[in-house]
Amino acid sequence: MTVHPRVLDYPQSFLPGVIPDEAELTAGQRVGAGRSYGFFTDTTLCIGCKACEVACKEWNALPADDLGLRGTSYDNTGDLSATTWRHVHFIEHIAENGGRATTMPPFQSNWLMMSDVCKHCSPAPCLEACPTGAIFRTEFDTVVVQQDICNGCGYCVPACPFGVVDVSLEDGKAHKCTLCYDRLKGGLEPACAKSCPTDSIQFGELGELHDRAHQRVEVLHAKGVENAYLYGAPGTPGATGGLQQLNAFFLLTAPPETYNLPRAPSRPAERVGPSLAAGLATIAGLAFASLAMFAAGRAD
Q: Which of 15, 169, 295, 296 binds other proteins (CB under 8 A)?
A: 15
SS3 category, 116: strand
In the complex, the smallest distance separating the C-beta of residue 13 from other proteins, rounded to whole angstroms, is: 5
Backbone angles phi, psi at 116, to 5 degrees: -95, 155
Residue 87 touches other proteins, criterion: CB under 8 A: no
Closest CA to 83 of 152, 158, 166: 166
Choose between 50 and 210: whose C-beta lies nearer to other proteins. 50
Choose between 86 and 237: whose C-beta lies nearer to other proteins. 86
Choose between 15 and 295: whose C-beta lies nearer to other proteins. 15
The one-letter amino acid code at 219 reads V
Choose between 73 and 266: whose C-beta lies nearer to other proteins. 73
Q: Which of 35, 79, 111, 163 binds other proteins (CB under 8 A)?
A: 111
**Who's near 81: CB < 8 A, 6+ residues apart?**
65, 166
Furthest CA-CA distance within the chain: 93
Cα(239)–Cα(250) distance, integer angstroms: 11
Q: Write out the binding residues for other proteins, residues 166-225 only, by CB under 8 A.
A: 180-183, 185-186, 188-189, 191, 194-199
Choose between 194 and 210: whose C-beta lies nearer to other proteins. 194
Closest CA to 70 of 88, 49, 56, 58: 88
Number of shown-chain residues binding other proteins (CB under 8 A) = 86
Q: How far is CA 78 from the centre of its chain?
A: 15
Q: Write out the binding residues for other proteins, residues 17-76 only, by CB under 8 A.
A: 17-19, 22, 25-26, 45, 47-51, 53-55, 57-59, 62-69, 71, 73-74, 76
